């Protein structure tokens, strides 16, 4: 129902009953002194980046020293079990980031434990075993380097995936480690379950080779300078690299990637860093190059006055823009309210442009965070119309061997098995001059626990097979949703912005399925990084969109049985 109100004094009317109600909220810095271990920490210590780095939490003992018995033993045991059995990232939490967990909870033992369990920042920065999906903790086709970034290295650390853009991984560390890190293959310390890949070149040599490649490749105009996190590159080294980049006149966009803007804003508030940013920004402006900073903030709780202050200081130093690329995750931000609260805080209070939300990538042990595509599509629709158009983030799926696609750009979607199909309009570094690369469709997968029982049963039966073989198995014996895709909504995220369930979620969601034109083909090839049950991967998942379909699927599924083609040598 729409409500028109007429304030007595103004005589104006406004529609107030909306799925989401915007209310401007002031940012606040949670009081760190609520924790016993920080009870005597002064404001000047808190603002000191060296103090923050020196007191970052790296293990349970250090967490205990801060929080003490305000957290139940069961929480510490749950955390220890996860680190031993599931964690793909080691623990590293600057105090600033820990302080944004359960920010308004009274420091009482039982209440804090429950607040920690429910907290969105805790859920991705400090995962515990009971968070994980018990049966389908990893998708059978999860991969350590799920985007194949290192497969596309043209020199060590330089990924050339898109025609005009490259990613420069300057180093493999960050001031904070996120549980869902898509570069978990490379970034951070090894964990009991994951031995990390290591960069082999000296940093100076690696950077020289990157610059040599860019000088020799004038079709590249855009460089994402990342890692890891550029906050861990010493400023003189980073400034030297950026200055040399700016000497290449074909480079027109440079983006610095740092989650530390939110996790360690103290770093970006240092005078020596801001002076350096100012020098580089003025050089960029003089050469008409767009120099921006991209950060990674997933929840409104992370947007504090210090984060806003650091952002404004960077803009004042001359950066053209500061933009946010968050990750869409169940239990963290997968509701319209969460996304809009975050975007309004970013755009309205911190001068950070909401830019993207990525669907969480298919890395091992990430299924409890990942959202199915239909949920991402509904969320995209739910957040339209509230923010300025230029500040309305796109929700994107980063499809292996393809790249980022807006979630509504899917070309076919099998809701029963949770498989979406995508195309691309350019060749990646892996395609070479392959004439067929642009004719294939490439699959992506919903988390299996989000499927109906029949879909889960199919995966239970076939998940041991490599992708191409699994997709060749018929599922005629299963009882399937009549429309090819009615999946119940156990997460509330298919709901409208006000939290009420979208009628489509109970009556059969509109499936995003285009006419089925393809038969699947996929080579069976060597598995990169495939060393164990949590590291299973499929080398190539490509399907020829023009091949003849082999049709023995149950009718009405909007899906065709797949034929297999051998592309292993590609």
Kindly list the residues in this chain that would bind ligand SF4 in the complex (CB under 6 A): 174, 176-178, 181, 183, 187, 228-229, 259, 296
Q: How distant, in Å, are the alpha carbons of 96, 144, 157, 179, 523 from that of 184?
A: 23, 7, 14, 9, 26
In the complex, the smallest distance separating the C-beta of residue 174 from ligand SF4, rounded to whole angstroms, is 3
Q: Which is nearer to ligand SF4, 369 or 401 (CB)?
A: 369
Distances in Å between the Cα of 96 and the Cα atoms of 262, 274, 419, 452 are: 8, 20, 39, 41
Q: How far apart are CA 380 and CA 403, in angstroms?
A: 19
Least distance CB 179 / ligand SF4 (angstroms): 9
Both tokens assigned to 126? 């400090």
Cβ-count burial 287-312 (b if 16+ within 10 Å, e if not):
eebebbbbbbbbbbbbbbebbbbbbe
The least distance separating ligand SF4 from the CB of residue 144, rounded to whole angstroms, comes to 13
494 in Cβ contact with 509 (< 8 Å):
yes
**Dihedral-angle region of residue 277 (phi above 0 means left; psi in -120 to 50 means alpha; beta otherwise):** alpha
CB of 96 to ligand SF4, least distance (A): 14
| Identity of the residue, 352 or 563, whose beta carbon is nearer to ligand SF4 in the bound complex | 352
Separation between Cα atoms, residue 503 and residue 274, nearest integer Å: 50
CA dist., res. 350 & res. 304, Å (int):
8
Shortest separation between residue 102's beta carbon and ligand SF4, angstroms: 21
**Which is nearer to ligand SF4, 178 or 359 (by Cβ)?**
178
Q: How far apart are CA 151 and CA 168, in angstroms?
A: 14
d(CA 342, CA 199): 35
Phi, psi (5° rounding) for residue 381? Answer: -65, -35
Closest CB 306 distance from ligand SF4, rounded Å: 17
At closest approach, how far in Å is the CB of 259 from ligand SF4?
4
231 by Cβ neighbours in 10 Å (0-12 / 13-18 / 19+) ranks as: buried
Nearer Cβ to ligand SF4 (86/456): 86
Strands 222-226 and 290-295: unpaired
The minimum distance between CB 188 and ligand SF4, in angstroms, equals 6
């Amino acid at each position: 129902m729409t409500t028109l109100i007429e304030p007595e004094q103004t005589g104006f009317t406004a529609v107030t009953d909306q799925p989401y109600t915007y209310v401007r909220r002031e940012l606040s810095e949670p009081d760190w002194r609520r924790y016993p271990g920080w009870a005597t920490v002064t404001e000047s210590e808190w603002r000191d980046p060296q103090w923050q780095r020196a007191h970052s939490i790296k293990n349970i003992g250090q967490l205990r020293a801060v929080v003490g018995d305000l957290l139940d033993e069961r929480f510490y045991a749950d955390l220890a079990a996860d680190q031993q059995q599931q964690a793909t990232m080691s623990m590293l939490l600057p105090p600033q980031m820990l302080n944004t967990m359960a920010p308004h909870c009274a420091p009482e033992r039982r209440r804090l434990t429950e607040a920690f369990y429910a907290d969105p920042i805790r859920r991705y920065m400090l995962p515990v075993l009971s968070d994980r999906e018990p049966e389908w903790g990893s998708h059978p086709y999860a991969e350590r380097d799920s985007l194949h970034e290192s497969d596309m290295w043209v020199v060590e650390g330089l990924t050339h995936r898109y025609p005009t853009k490259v990613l420069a991984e300057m180093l493999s560390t960050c001031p904070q480690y996120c549980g869902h890190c898509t570069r978990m293959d490379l970034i951070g310390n090894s964990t009991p379950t994951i031995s990390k890949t290591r960069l082999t070149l000296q940093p100076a040599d690696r950077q020289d080779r990157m610059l040599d490649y860019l000088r020799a490749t004038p079709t590249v105009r855009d460089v994402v300078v990342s890692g890891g996190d550029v906050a861990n590159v010493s400023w003189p080294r980073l400034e030297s690299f950026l200055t040399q980049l700016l000497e290449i006149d074909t480079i027109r966009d440079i983006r610095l990637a740092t989650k530390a803007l939110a996790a360690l804003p103290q770093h970006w508030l240092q005078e020596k860093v801001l002076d350096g940013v100012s020098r580089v920004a003025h050089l960029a402006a003089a050469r008409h190059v767009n120099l921006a900073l991209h950060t990674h903030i997933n929840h409104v709780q992370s947007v504090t006055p210090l984060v806003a202050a650091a952002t404004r200081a960077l803009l004042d130093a001359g950066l053209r823009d500061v933009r946010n690329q968050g990750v869409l995750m169940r239990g963290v931000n997968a509701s319209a309210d969460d996304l809009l609260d975050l975007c309004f805080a970013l755009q309205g209070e911190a001068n950070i442009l909401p830019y993207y939300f990525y669907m969480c990538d298919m890395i091992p042990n990430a299924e409890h965070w990942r959202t199915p595509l239909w949920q991402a599509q509904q969320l995209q629709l739910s957040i339209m119309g509230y923010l300025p158009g230029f500040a309305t983030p796109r929700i994107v799926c980063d499809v292996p061997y393809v790249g980022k696609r807006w979630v509504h750009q899917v070309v076919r979607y099998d809701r029963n098995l949770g498989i979406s199909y995508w195309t691309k309009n350019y060749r990646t570094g892996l395609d070479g001059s392959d004439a067929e690369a642009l004719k294939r469709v490439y699959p992506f997968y919903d988390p299996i626990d989000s499927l109906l029982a029949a879909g889960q049963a199919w995966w239970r039966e076939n998940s041991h097979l490599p992708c191409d073989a699994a997709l060749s198995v018929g599922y005629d014996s299963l009882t399937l949703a009549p429309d090819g895709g009615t999946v119940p909504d156990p997460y509330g995220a298919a709901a409208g912005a006000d939290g009420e369930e979208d009628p489509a979620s109970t009556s059969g969601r509109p499936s995003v399925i285009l006419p089925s034109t393809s038969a699947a083909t996929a080579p069976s090839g060597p598995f990169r990084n495939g060393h164990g049950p949590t590291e299973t991967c499929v080398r190539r998942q490509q399907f020829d969109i023009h091949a003849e379909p082999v049709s023995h699927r149950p009718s009405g599924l909007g899906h065709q049985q797949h034929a297999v083609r051998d592309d292993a040598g590609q």
